[in-house]
C-alpha cells in the first residue's frame, strides 16, 4: 500500500506541509518496499485557481491509497472521495513520525472538507 | 453615449455620484450598476423591479457513454476545472471560464456545452422614471467580467441619450470590463494622499486604454491642493469639486443622496453629461 | 519559546472608504514588534502612512497568455473564430491578441495550423519588500486589467509569514483588500483574528453582514470597529444587532473625525500627530482588547 504526504522537503525527516493545494511536492511512502518516491506538485504554485483539484489529480495519479495533509478544501475533497482515497489530517510534524501514527491508526480521518474553497 | 463612473479606490463616493447623476438627468439617462460583486445603487434609489434575466455561460458536460477517460480534457483545461477520479470526469462549473477548449479537444466527442447560470440582471424602474439595471454575480463564481459584459449588452427599456455605468473599484479585470468601450469616464477621487495614489493607478489604466476622462474631486477638506496640483501638472481636467460636508455623509447614512443636501448641484450634474459630448 | 506560527490579525472592511487603512496604520504604531502586510494589491496605500527607508521590488508571474508570431502567421483567422473572449482582432490584415482580454485558455495555441501562436509567461504585477520605521512591510501591485484571483494576496501573506518565522516575530498585521470576493477570502483563511472596520450607512451595514457570513464560514473570530459612529444612531443599532447575531464583539466606536485625514495629509498615522486625542485613545484600547483576545505575548507601545 502507498500513502501520500504533502511536504516542502525531500526526506522522511521533512515536515508535513499543512497546505494541500499549494504544497510543492508529495512524498509517497510504499509500505511493501519501505521506500518512497517524490512527486512534483510545483505547477500548482503557479496556478491562479483550482490548485486543490489538480493536487488531488496528482495524488490519484501516484496510485496512493491514502493522503496525509493539514487541510483540505471542498473541491479537492470531492475529487479524492470520488477516487476512494481517504484523507487524514495532522500537524506539521516529521513524515517519519506520521508514518508510525498512520500504522497505529491514530491519525484523524477527515469526513468533510475543513477549509473553505476559494477560486 | 456611454459614460462610466469609476475610481481607483473604494469609498470615494462613486456610487453616490452615479445615483445623483441619474436623479439630475432622470428623463435622459439610465444607470447600469456594474459593481457586480457589491451592487449598491439600488439601496439609494426607490424603484420597482420589473424584470429578471439570468446571465449564462456555456459549461461543458461529459457523456459517460462516449468518454474513454483518456484525460485529454484535464490536460487542456488551463483553469484546473477538470479532474478524473475513479471512473468519472468531474467538472467544476464555478472554475470554468467557458473557453470551449475541452469540448474541442475531446477525441471521442464526449463533451458538449450547455448554458449554466452565473449571475443575474435585474431591470427596475425608479420613482423618477429612469431605468436602473443591476448586474449581480452569484457568490462563488469566478466570471464577474461576463456578468458585466452582459449588463452592458442588455437592451434599454426605452432609448435614452446617456447610459451611466457604475464601475467596480480598483483597476483589475472587472474595472476594465466595465469601462472599456465607454465614450467617456468620470474618475471620482478624494483629496487625500490615498485618493491621489489610487487616482494615479486608475489614470494609468485609462491612458493604456486610450479613453477620455475627467476628474471629480470629492470630500475636499482643509486647504489642500493635492489633486489639483497633480491634475494641472499632467494637464488632466477637473470638472467638479465637492467639499467635505458632514451633512452629505449623514444624508448618505440615511440612504439619501447628494442632491437632497445640495439641490443646487442639479444644474452642474446636467452640464457634466453635456460636456462629455465630443 | 520558538515561534512556529505567528499570530495574524487581518483588518478588512467590505466596502471601501471606511477608514480601514488609517486604522491599520494606527494599530501598527501600538504594537512594538510586528511584520506588516498590505494585501490590497489593487491599490496599496498603507505605505503612504509609513516612513519608508528603502525597498526591493520583484516581478510576480501568474500563468500564461497567447501571443501571435507575425512571421509564422498565415492570417487564416481560425484563432479569432475560436476565441470566446473577443481577445483576437484583425487590423491592417494582421491578427493581434489583446493582452488585457486574453484569459489564457490556450485554445488558439493548440488550434493554430501553423503553430504561429506562442504561449508566454505573463507578469501580472510586482511585489515589494519595504523597510519602514515600523519594521518590514510586504505589499504588491497588480497591473491594470489583471485578474485579482487572490494569488498575489496569498503570496504577500506567505512572504510576511516566512519573514516572521525566520526572525521570530510574534505578530503579522495585515491590511486586507476591500470587498468580499476572492482576494478577501485569500487574505483571511487561516488568520488568528479578523478586525472589521465598518460605518453606520446602508452599504456599510449591508457589507458587514456579508463579511460576517464569510468569517463565520471560516470559523475565524471576528471583531468589529464602527468608524464614523455618530453619523447614524439607527445604523449603529443595526450593526450592533447584526454583530450579536454572529457572536462578534464591537471593540471600539470612533466618531466621524477630520483628524484621520489631517494625519494622512502629513503622511502619518493619527497616533503620531494627535496622540492625546480620543480617537487615539480608542485605538489604544482596541489594541489592548485584541492583544488579550489573541493571547499575544508582546509588549505594546503605550
Q: Is residue C2 part of a domain?
A: no
Query: Strands of C35-38's sheet, edge to edge?
Result: C52-68, C117-132, C135-142, C35-38, C171-175, C7-12, C193-198, C222-226, C249-253
Which pLDDT does position C300 carry in this prediction? 60
Q: Per the domain annotation, does C298 fall within a domain?
A: no
CA–CA dist A113, A7 (Å, integer): 19
Of C61, C151, C189, the CB nearest to A115: C189
**Is A49 an 8 Å CB contact of chain B?**
yes
Q: How far is A9 from chain C (nearest CA, A)?
A: 15
The whole-angstrom separation of Cα B194 and Cα C32 is 25
Q: How many domains does chain C have?
A: 2
DSSP-assigned letter for residue A73: -
Whether residues C164 and C65 share a domain: the answer is: no
What span, in angstroms and rounded, lies between the C-alpha atoms of A26 and A19? 11
- State whether C240 and C156 are in the same domain: yes
Q: Which domains does chain B have, with CATH numbers?
A: 2-46+127-276 (3.40.50.300), 57-117 (3.30.70.20)
pLDDT band of residue A115 (cuts 50, 70, 90) is low
Count A/B contacts: CB-CB distance under 8 Å.
49
- DSSP output for C216-274: HHTT--EEEEETTGGG-HHHHHHHHHHHHHTT-EEEEE----THHHHHHHTTS-HHHH-
A 24-43 near C (Cβ less than 8 A): none
Distance CA C175, CA B219 (A): 23
**C125-153 pLDDT per residue, tens:** 999 999 999 999 999 999 887 876 678 99
Q: Where are the domains of chain A?
A: 2-109
Question: Do residue C36 and residue C172 come from a single domain?
Answer: yes
User: Which of helix, strand or coil describes residue B2?
Assistant: strand
For residue B97, the chain C residues in CB contact (below 8 A) are 103, 105
**C158 and C81 co-located in one domain:** no
Question: Do C70 and C105 have their domain in common?
Answer: yes
Confidence category of residue C254, pLDDT binned at 50, 70, 90:
very high
Mapped onto helix, strand or coil, the DSSP state of residue B6 is: strand
pLDDT number for residue A3 = 97
Final residue in a domain of this structure, among C80, C103, C123: C123
- Collect all residues of chain C within an 8 Å Cβ-Cβ radius of residue B253: 199-202, 231-232, 235
Same domain, yes or no: C224 and C279? yes
The 10 Å Cβ neighbour count of residue B35 is 29
Residue B133 is predicted with a pLDDT of: 97
User: Per-residue pLDDT tens for C202-251?
Assistant: 889 988 998 998 888 777 899 999 999 999 999 999 999 999 999 999 99
Which residues does B61 contact at the CB level (< 8 Å), separation at least 6? B91, B111, B112, B113, B114
Are the beta carbons of B192 and C265 separated by less than 8 Å? yes
Q: What does the pLDDT read at residue C50?
A: 93
CA angle, C166 then C169 then C195, to 5°: 125
Same domain, C196 and C100: no
The pLDDT value recorded for residue C302 is 53
Q: Which among A49, A118, A119 is the nearest to C189, CB-wise?
A: A118
CATH number (domain holding residue C44): 3.40.50.300
Quote the pLDDT of residue B203.
Answer: 95
- Cα–Cα nearest to B183, from B145, B215, B148, B213: B213
Q: What CA–CA distance (Å, rounded) separates C254 from C279?
A: 6
C218 plus C277 within the same structural domain: yes
Candidate from C62, C147, C217 with C-beta closest to A116: C217
- C302 domain residue, yes or no: no
C287 and C258 both lie in a single domain: yes
Q: Using CA of residue B210, residue B216, residue B219, residue B223, what is the dihedral sign?
A: positive
- Average pLDDT of span B191-218: 93
Average pLDDT over residues A47-75: 90
* Complex ipTM: 0.86
Subunit contact A57:B74, Cβ cutoff 8 A: yes
Q: In the predicted model, is pLDDT for residue A118 greater than 50?
A: no
Does the beta-carbon distance from A56 to B74 stay under 8 Å?
no
Give residue C176's domain range: 7-51+133-293
| Tens-digit pLDDT profile for residues B258-274 | 899 999 999 999 999 99
pLDDT band for C78, please (50, 70, 90 cuts): very high
Q: Which of C62, C197, C56 is nearest to C139 (CA)?
A: C56
Q: Which of A60, C116, C73 is nearest to B74 (CA)?
A: A60
Q: What is the average pLDDT across C3-29? A: 91
Nearest-CA distance A13 → chain B (Å): 31
Q: Which of C61, C147, C186 comes nearest A118 by C-beta?
A: C186
Residue A48 has pLDDT above 80, yes or no: no
| A2-109 to CATH, choices 3.30.420.130, 3.40.50.300, 3.90.1300.10, 3.40.50.10090 | 3.30.420.130
Amino acid at each position: 500500500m502507498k500513502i501520500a504526504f504533502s511536504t516542502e522537503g525531500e526526506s522522511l525527516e521533512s515536515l508535513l506541509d499543512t497546505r494541500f493545494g499549494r504544497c510543492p511536492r508529495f512524498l509517497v511512502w510504499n509500505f511493501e518496499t519501505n521506500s518512497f518516491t517524490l512527486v512534483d506538485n510545483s505547477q500548482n504554485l503557479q496556478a491562479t485557481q483550482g490548485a486543490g483539484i489538480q493536487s488531488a489529480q496528482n495524488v490519484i495519479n501516484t496510485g496512493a491509497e491514502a493522503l496525509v495533509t493539514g487541510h483540505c478544501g471542498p473541491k479537492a475533497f470531492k475529487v479524492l472521495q470520488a477516487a476512494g482515497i481517504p484523507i487524514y489530517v495532522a500537524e506539521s510534524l516529521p513524515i517519519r513520525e506520521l508514518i508510525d501514527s498512520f500504522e497505529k491508526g491514530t491519525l484523524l480521518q477527515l469526513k468533510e472538507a475543513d477549509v473553505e474553497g476559494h477560486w | 453615449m456611454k459614460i462610466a463612473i469609476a475610481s481607483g479606490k473604494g469609498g470615494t463616493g462613486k456610487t453616490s455620484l452615479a445615483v445623483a447623476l441619474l436623479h439630475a438627468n432622470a428623463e435622459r439617462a439610465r444607470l447600469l450598476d456594474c459593481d457586480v460583486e457589491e451592487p449598491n445603487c439600488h439601496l439609494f434609489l426607490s424603484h420597482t423591479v420589473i424584470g429578471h434575466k439570468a446571465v449564462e455561460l456555456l459549461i461543458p458536460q461529459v457523456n459517460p457513454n462516449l468518454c474513454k477517460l483518456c484525460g485529454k480534457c484535464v490536460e487542456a483545461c488551463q483553469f484546473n476545472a477538470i479532474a478524473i477520479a475513479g471512473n468519472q470526469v468531474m467538472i467544476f462549473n464555478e472554475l470554468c471560464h467557458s473557453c470551449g477548449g475541452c469540448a474541442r479537444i475531446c477525441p471521442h466527442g464526449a463533451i458538449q456545452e450547455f448554458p449554466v447560470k452565473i449571475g443575474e440582471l435585474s431591470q427596475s424602474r425608479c420613482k423618477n422614471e429612469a431605468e436602473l439595471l443591476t448586474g449581480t454575480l452569484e457568490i462563488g463564481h469566478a466570471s464577474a467580467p461576463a456578468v458585466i459584459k452582459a449588463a452592458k449588452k442588455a437592451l434599454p427599456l426605452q432609448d435614452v441619450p446617456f447610459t451611466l455605468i457604475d464601475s467596480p473599484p480598483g483597476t483589475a479585470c472587472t474595472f476594465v470590463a466595465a469601462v472599456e468601450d465607454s465614450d467617456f469616464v468620470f474618475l471620482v477621487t478624494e483629496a487625500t494622499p490615498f485618493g491621489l495614489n489610487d487616482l494615479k493607478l486608475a489614470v494609468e489604466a485609462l491612458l493604456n486604454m486610450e479613453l477620455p476622462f475627467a476628474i471629480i474631486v470629492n470630500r475636499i477638506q482643509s486647504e489642500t491642493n493635492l489633486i489639483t496640483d497633480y491634475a494641472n501638472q499632467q494637464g488632466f481636467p477637473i470638472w467638479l469639486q465637492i467639499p467635505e460636508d458632514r451633512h452629505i455623509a449623514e444624508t448618505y447614512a440615511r440612504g439619501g443622496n447628494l442632491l437632497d443636501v445640495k439641490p443646487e448641484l442639479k444644474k452642474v450634474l446636467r452640464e457634466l453629461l453635456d460636456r462629455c459630448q465630443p | 519559546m520558538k515561534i512556529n506560527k505567528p499570530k495574524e490579525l487581518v483588518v478588512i472592511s467590505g466596502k471601501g472608504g471606511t477608514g480601514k487603512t488609517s486604522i491599520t496604520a494606527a494599530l501598527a504604531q501600538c504594537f512594538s514588534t510586528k511584520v506588516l502586510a498590505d494585501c490590497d494589491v489593487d491599490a496599496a496605500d498603507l505605505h503612504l502612512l509609513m516612513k519608508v527607508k528603502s525597498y526591493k521590488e520583484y516581478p510576480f508571474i501568474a500563468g500564461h497568455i497567447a501571443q501571435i508570431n507575425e512571421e509564422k502567421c498565415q492570417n487564416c483567422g481560425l484563432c479569432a473564430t475560436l476565441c470566446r473572449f473577443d481577445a483576437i482582432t484583425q487590423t491592417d490584415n494582421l491578427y493581434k491578441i489583446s493582452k488585457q482580454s486574453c484569459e489564457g485558455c490556450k485554445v488558439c495555441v493548440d488550434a493554430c495550423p501553423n503553430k504561429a501562436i506562442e504561449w508566454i509567461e505573463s507578469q501580472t504585477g510586482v511585489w515589494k519588500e519595504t523597510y519602514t520605521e515600523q519594521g518590514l512591510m510586504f505589499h504588491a501591485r497588480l497591473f491594470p486589467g489583471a485578474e485579482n484571483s487572490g494569488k498575489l494576496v496569498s503570496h504577500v501573506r506567505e512572504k510576511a509569514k516566512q519573514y516572521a518565522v525566520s526572525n521570530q516575530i510574534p505578530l503579522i498585521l495585515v491590511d486586507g483588500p476591500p470587498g468580499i470576493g476572492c482576494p478577501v477570502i485569500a487574505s483571511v483563511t487561516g488568520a488568528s483574528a479578523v478586525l472589521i472596520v465598518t460605518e453606520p450607512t446602508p452599504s456599510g451595514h449591508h457589507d458587514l453582514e456579508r463579511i460576517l457570513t464569510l468569517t463565520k464560514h471560516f470559523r475565524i473570530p471576528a471583531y468589529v470597529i464602527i468608524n464614523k459612529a455618530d453619523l447614524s444612531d439607527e445604523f449603529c443599532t443595526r450593526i450592533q444587532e447584526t454583530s450579536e447575531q454572529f457572536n462578534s464583539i464591537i471593540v471600539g466606536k470612533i466618531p466621524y473625525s477630520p483628524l484621520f485625514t489631517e494625519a494622512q495629509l502629513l503622511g502619518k498615522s493619527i497616533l503620531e500627530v494627535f496622540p492625546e486625542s480620543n480617537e487615539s485613545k480608542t485605538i489604544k484600547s482596541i489594541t489592548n482588547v485584541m492583544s488579550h483576545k489573541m493571547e499575544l505575548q508582546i509588549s505594546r507601545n503605550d
